[in-house]
Amino acid sequence: MWTCPDIVDFFLMSTKVLIIGACGQIGTELTAALQTTYGALNVIASDIRKSDNDVFADSPFEILDATNKEQIRACIEKHQITDVYLMAALLSAKAEKNPEFAWELNMNSLLYVLDFAKDKLIEKVFWPSSIAVFGKNSPKVQTPQHTIMDPSTVYGISKLSGERWCEYYHKNHGVDVRSVRYPGIISWKARPGGGTTDYAVEIFHEALEKGSYTCFLKEDTALPMMFMDDAVRATISIMNAESSAIKIRSSYNISATSFTPKELTSEIQKLLPDFTIEYAPDFRQQIADSWPESIDDTDAANDWNWSAHFDTKAIVAEMIENLR
């Protein structure tokens, strides 16, 4: 006899996930969480090269170039994928150094995956956007969901364009695409690469290895930040929400905490009193100056019950305990 749990189990079992860009900072931990939800054999991890993180020992792994539409199609067909998590992207700082490739990777990969969903090759898409969609003319504090955008980085332009495409494919082709605007993500399992918020991860490694850190942002630069566990939980919960609950099909603001390098330093010094910091701002300062200081995530809270668990103090405690 069919009971509710049987139906839930059936849907979980019939879900087959492909993560594109699985070896990155977020992809690595998202892969582990999805393995727990769907079973390791139902999670196909893929990236341009394989990392040696243990998480990839348990799941099938495919070498996949996110700019190659036919490679993605072949992988989806081979594994009968239902849900794609498209995590491959060039982040803000790296994208400024290589704008053409950033545009190609960040934009084309999304359009390919949206096309596969439009053609019913897959059922559901997760694609991350970023606080980088906002710019100098956006309100800086508690930046609202809907406001002036004006991104000034290649990365931000690609993310805002991506958001518009997501909404367009949902409205015009019924594509079930879901997205959140990640703030800076702080984690200890895999390092970030090429972002402006990366200082908030580097600082912990150097505090423990060297006792000091030279920060590439000024001491009073406030940015929205989030612990990885919250970021992964947001990702999986928006994907598991009822489709009718997802009222925003561009991308949702999500928020956890916000701090400056100086505030982060004083939290770290509570646990590592000898830690010292110096400041040597570089080109990333200008990027950070164009982004919000904090984010209003009321829509995500109302529509799919989003709320963060980790504040700055809890993040610092987790980072130091785990990196030690």
Q: Does 132 bind ligand SER (CB under 6 A)?
A: yes
Q: Does 92 bind ligand SER (CB under 6 A)?
A: yes
* Cα radius of gyration rounded to whole Å, the chain: 19
Binding mask 136-155 for ligand SER (x = CB under 6 A): -------------------x
Calpha distance 31→192 (Å, rounded): 16
The DSSP bridge partners found for residue 85 are 19, 126
Binding mask 171-190 for ligand SER (x = CB under 6 A): -----------x-x------
Q: How many residues bind ligand SER (CB under 6 A)?
A: 11
Q: Does 197 bind ligand SER (CB under 6 A)?
A: yes
Which is catalytic among the residues 155, 169, 182, 213?
155
CB burial readout 72-100, b (16+ within 10 A) else e = beebbeebebbbbbbbbbbbbbbbbeeee
CB of 146 to ligand SER, least distance (A): 19
Calpha distance 177→184 (Å, rounded): 22
Q: State which residue, 196 or 294, has the beta carbon closest to ligand SER.
A: 196
Q: Which residue is nearest to ligand SER (CB)?
A: 195
> Looking only at residues 111 through 130 of this chain, which bind ligand SER when binding is defined by CB under 6 A?
130
Q: Does 196 bind ligand SER (CB under 6 A)?
A: yes
Region of 15 on the Ramachandran plot (φ > 0 left; ψ -120 to 50 alpha; else beta): beta
CB of 251 to ligand SER, least distance (A): 11
Q: State which residue, 159 or 170, has the beta carbon closest to ligand SER.
A: 159
Q: State which residue, 184 or 292, has the beta carbon closest to ligand SER.
A: 184
The DSSP line for 172-183 is HH--EEE-EEE-
Strands lying side by side in the sheet with 17-20: 61-63, 43-47, 17-20, 83-86, 124-126, 176-178
Q: Judged by CB under 6 A, which stretch of 15-23, 44-52, 195-203, 254-262 contacts ligand SER?
A: 195-203
Q: Is 169 a catalytic residue?
A: no
Q: State which residue, 76 or 110, has the beta carbon closest to ligand SER.
A: 110
HSE (CB half, 13 Å, CA atoms) of 164?
8
The residues that touch ligand SER, with contacts defined as CB under 6 A, are 91-92, 130-132, 155, 182, 184, 195-197
Enumerate the active-site residues: 155
